[in-house]
């Protein structure tokens, strides 16, 4: 993965290209990251596109065909109620991916605004706001998510919000650190001298400049959220039937390990591969966007 | 040093108070009460029950009893049992599981992390590093059932459920520990790489000290710092993980108890349990912070 001479750097010396061009070049060099990105793209197309073209029945119960092993009839076998496992994995993937992305979006919005405001104003505001983050960090996180889930009932949209609302802490810390280091730079000073107001400076001039670390952390938040969603579904608190998510499918499989291995292995494999891809993509993006902190060795 | 410990301890108490307030209001906001049943309970009976559990008192008074006397309160679902007793009967199992998992995590994670850092980007690095990636991407609820299929269903070496014989405890501890071993290995690798590239290591090596003694005497102290700071969040995570592992392996621990309590709306037990775990986590974080200062004295001067 690493090379002795980084061609992107040489190019930069000659022409001074923008960070993004160099980053794109470095990312393309990273085969694992590109493979992961391709996998994620393919998965999204499968989950959201395929059911539009092929008639996939994910909730039709055919009780006489229960526990059919993978084969001609069912690509990935059927479950205890004779439902098509492949269709259920795709529909479950929809929910898992949607929850992952929507909750990440919520946590991004809260985290960026909170961190940027705290870092920009500094002083007492900063101290109070960061204290609050410390308090929230100390909460027995899982228990609170469970309480929140019960509080919001089985509304999936609110579930996004609840998960997002507890996942923003690290993002706020990252953004705050970046904003503090940007604050002293000259272009921000010139914004002040032009008489721009704080909101405009923060969201127009600072936030675009911290996108790098934010993007990296986003690709790492999505799998974290997906794990959390599956965890809740696994405990029976998440998505309710006939809807399904990867967590529910894994739970169904885990309860029947003795009779139907395919009910655990296929959803588990989809889930693990997705997490794998997001993590590799995140690592690759970090290396690509931040050449200084590229992992040593 | 003492001043630092004192200040951190004081902060922890403050944080704990905030947590208790949040817990109180959150559990109050949950729809439905512990006395709601399928059949409608007569108003007078409900009133009396609520009076018995002190639920008709003003908020501040309820908050004070729920927070400071929770171990002696009766459970709202099982009135003849006290919250403290219920925690005391179930918690040792979860603690044992967590402790084994932590041992597995450190015993697997640290050596493989050190190995990986010695020869970066060789097979010695790739094998533990990709294994730990697998560990991170196979959450406990996939890992556990998979291990059950392999070792309990196919090979029939170990039991799939229960928590009595030593052989029952192997699979759950491995399941929970492996996930954290993966993180520990990654952090150890990163920390060691950072330290091994520094001048004082080169100096020690050029004096003729052996690689083994350099690693154990000089590098580990700095290289393990990220692992130590990870132990705080890991303790919190072990609790969450134990929820899942207890479900998978049918272990009678705290996690199942909590989920049941939430669906039963057992208010006194919920608040008691959250507070208990919160104080545990906060105390553990405090210990971790102090340990970090011991390992790296520069930290205590930095506010």
Give me the tens of pLDDT residue by residue for chain B, a chain 303 residues long. Answer: 788 788 888 888 888 888 888 888 877 777 766 666 666 777 777 777 777 766 667 777 777 777 777 777 777 777 777 777 888 888 888 888 888 888 988 998 888 888 888 877 677 777 777 777 777 778 888 888 888 878 877 777 777 777 777 777 888 888 888 888 888 888 888 888 888 878 888 888 888 888 888 888 788 877 888 888 777 777 777 776 777 888 888 888 887 788 888 877 777 888 888 888 888 888 887 888 788 777 776 665 544
Compute the nearest-CA separation of A19 from chain B (Å).
Answer: 25
Q: What is the pLDDT of residue B258?
A: 82
Residues of A in contact with B138 (CB under 8 A): 268, 272
Instruction: Say which DSSP state A68 is in.
Output: P
Residues of B in contact with A150 (CB under 8 A): 30, 262-263
Place of tokens 């929507």: A102
Direct distance between the N- and C-terminal alpha carbons of chain A, in angstroms, rounded to an integer: 10
Domain count, chain B: 1
* A234 closest CB neighbour out of B121, B141, B152: B141
* A234 closest CB neighbour out of B16, B120, B244: B244
Q: Tell whether B133 is within 8 A of chain A (Cβ).
A: yes
Residues of B in contact with A295 (CB under 8 A): 190, 193
Contact B146, B166 (CB under 8 A): no
Contact B255, B93 (CB under 8 A): no
Q: How many CA atoms lie within 13 A of B243 on its CB side?
A: 27
Verify cis geometry, omega within 30 degrees of 0, for the bond prior to A242.
yes
Q: Do A268 and B138 touch (CB under 8 A)?
A: yes
Q: Tell whether A128 is within 8 A of chain B (Cβ).
A: no
Q: Do A254 and B145 touch (CB under 8 A)?
A: yes
Q: Tell whether A272 is within 8 A of chain B (Cβ).
A: yes
* Beta-bridge mates of residue A84: A78
Buried b / exposed e along B170-196 (16+ C-beta atoms within 10 A) = bbbbbbbbbbbbbbbbbbbbbbbbbbb
* A296 closest CB neighbour out of B16, B141, B197: B197
Q: What is the pLDDT of residue A9?
A: 59
Whether B60 is in a domain gets the answer no
Structure ipTM:
0.71
Q: What backbone torsions phi and psi does residue B294 show, to the nearest 5 degrees?
A: -60, -40
Residues of B in contact with A146 (CB under 8 A): 258-259, 262
* B262 closest CB neighbour out of A138, A147, A275: A147
C-alpha–C-alpha distance, residues B155 and B251, integer Å? 21
Q: What is the pLDDT of residue B197?
A: 79
Whether B62 is in a domain gets the answer no
Give the H/E segment covering residue B188. Answer: helix B166-196
Whether B175 is in a domain gets the answer yes
Q: Tell whether B201 is within 8 A of chain A (Cβ).
A: no
Compute the nearest-CA separation of A272 from chain B (Å).
Answer: 5
Q: B148 lies in which domain range?
A: 91-256
User: Quick one: tokens of A180?
Assistant: 């503090």
Whether B125 is in a domain gets the answer yes
User: Quick one: tokens of A216?
Assistant: 């990296």
What does each C-alpha distance from B45 to B40, B49, B266 come to in angstroms? Answer: 10, 6, 17
User: Quick one: tokens of A238?
Assistant: 């998440």
Q: Do B30 and A143 touch (CB under 8 A)?
A: no
Nearest to B188 by CA among B284, B296, B105, B122: B105
3-state DSSP assignment of residue B224? coil
3-state DSSP assignment of residue B82? strand
Q: What is the pLDDT of residue B297?
A: 66
Q: Do B15 and A135 touch (CB under 8 A)?
A: yes
Compute the nearest-CA separation of B75 from chain A (Å).
Answer: 18
DSSP calls for A89-100 = HHHHHHHHHHHH
* Beta-bridge mates of residue B74: B82
Whether B123 is in a domain gets the answer yes
Which of B136, B142, B151 is best to mutate for the A interface (most A CBs within 10 A)? Answer: B142
Alpha-helical (H) ranges within chain A are 7-15, 19-29, 31-53, 85-121, 123-137, 141-152, 156-167, 169-183, 186-193, 198-200, 211-234, 246-254, 262-289
Q: What is the pLDDT of residue A297?
A: 35
Contact B201, B218 (CB under 8 A): yes
Burial class for B209, CB neighbours closer than 10 Å (0-12, 13-18, 19+): middle
Name the residue in chain B with its Cα closest to that of A258: B153
Q: Do A144 and B26 touch (CB under 8 A)?
A: yes
Compute the nearest-CA separation of B205 from chain A (Å).
Answer: 19
Whether B290 is in a domain gets the answer no
**Long-range Cβ contacts of B158-163 (<8 Å, 24+ apart):** B160/A257, B160/B249, B161/B249, B161/B250, B161/B251, B162/B249, B162/B250, B162/B251, B163/B93, B163/B97, B163/B249, B163/B251, B163/B252, B163/B253
Average pLDDT for consecutive 10-residue bins of chain A (297 residues)?
Answer: 57 58 78 85 84 70 68 68 76 85 88 89 85 76 77 71 80 86 84 87 82 81 84 77 79 75 82 86 77 44
Q: Do B26 and A276 touch (CB under 8 A)?
A: no
Residues 203-242 of A with CB under 8 A from B: 223, 227, 230-231, 234-237
Whether B25 is in a domain gets the answer no
**CATH code of the domain in which B118 resides:** 1.10.3720.10
What is the pTM for the complete model shown? 0.76
Cβ neighbours of residue A189 under 8 Å, at least 6 residues apart? none
């Amino acid at each position: 993965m690493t090379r002795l001479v980084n061609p992107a750097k040489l190019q930069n010396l000659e022409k001074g290209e923008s960070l993004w061009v160099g980053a794109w070049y470095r990312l393309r060099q990273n085969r694992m990251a590109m493979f992961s990105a391709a996998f994620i793209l393919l998965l999204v197309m499968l989950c959201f596109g395929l059911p539009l073209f092929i008639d996939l029945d994910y909730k039709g119960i055919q009780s006489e065909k229960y526990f059919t092993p993978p084969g001609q009839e069912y690509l990935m076998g059927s479950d205890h109620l004779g439902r098509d496992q492949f269709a259920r994995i795709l529909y479950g993937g929809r929910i898992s991916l949607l929850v992952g992305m929507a909750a990440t979006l919520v946590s991004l919005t809260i985290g960026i605004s909170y961190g940027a405001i705290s870092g920009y104003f500094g002083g007492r505001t900063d101290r109070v706001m960061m204290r609050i983050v410390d308090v929230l960090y100390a909460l027995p996180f899982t228990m609170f998510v469970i309480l929140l889930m019960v509080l919001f009932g089985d509304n999936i949209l609110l579930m996004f919000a609840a998960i997002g609302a507890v996942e923003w802490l690290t993002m706020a810390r990252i953004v705050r650190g970046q904003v503090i280091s940007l604050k002293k730079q000259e272009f921000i000073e010139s914004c002040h001298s032009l008489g721009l107001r704080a909101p405009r400076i923060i969201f127009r001039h600072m936030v675009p400049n911290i996108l790098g670390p934010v993007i990296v952390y986003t690709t790492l938040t999505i799998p974290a959220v997906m794990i959390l969603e599956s965890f809740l579904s696994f405990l029976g608190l998440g998505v309710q039937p006939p809807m399904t998510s990867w967590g529910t499918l894994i739970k169904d499989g885990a309860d029947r390990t003795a009779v139907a291995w395919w009910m655990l292995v296929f959803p588990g494999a989809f889930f693990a591969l997705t997490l794998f891809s997001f993590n590799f993509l995140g690592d690759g993006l970090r290396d690509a966007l931040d050449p200084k902190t590229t992992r040593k060795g | 040093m003492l001043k630092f410990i004192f200040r951190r301890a004081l902060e922890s108490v403050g944080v704990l108070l905030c947590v208790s307030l949040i817990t109180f209001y959150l559990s109050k906001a949950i729809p439905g009460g512990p006395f709601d049943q399928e059949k409608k309970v007569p108003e007078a009976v409900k009133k009396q029950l609520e009076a018995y559990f002190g639920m008709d008192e003003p908020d501040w008074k309820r908050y004070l009893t729920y927070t400071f006397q929770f171990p002696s309160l009766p459970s709202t679902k099982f009135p003849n049992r006290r919250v403290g007793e219920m925690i005391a009967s179930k918690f040792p199992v979860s603690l044992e599981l967590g402790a084994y998992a932590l041992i597995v995590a450190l015993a697997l994670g640290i050596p493989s992390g050190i190995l990986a850092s010695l020869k970066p980007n060789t097979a010695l690095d790739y094998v533990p590093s990709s294994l730990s990636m697998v560990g991170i991407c196979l959450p406990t609820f996939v890992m556990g059932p998979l291990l059950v299929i392999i070792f309990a269903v196919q090979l029939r070496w170990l039991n799939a459920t229960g928590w009595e014989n030593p052989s029952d405890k192997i699979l759950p501890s491995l399941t929970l520990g492996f996930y954290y071993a993966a993180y520990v290995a990654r952090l150890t690798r990163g920390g060691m790489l950072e330290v091994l590239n520094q001048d004082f290591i080169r100096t020690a090596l050029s004096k003729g000290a052996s690689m083994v003694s350099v690693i154990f005497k000089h590098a580990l102290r700095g290289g393990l710092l990220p692992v130590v700071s990870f132990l705080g969040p890991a303790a919190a995570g072990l609790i969450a993980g134990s929820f899942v592992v207890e479900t998978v392996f049918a272990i009678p621990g705290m996690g199942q108890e909590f989920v049941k309590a939430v669906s039963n709306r057992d208010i006194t037990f919920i608040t008691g349990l959250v507070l208990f775990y919160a104080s545990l986590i906060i105390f553990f974080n405090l210990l971790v912070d102090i340990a970090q200062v011991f390992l790296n004295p520069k930290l205590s001067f930095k506010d």
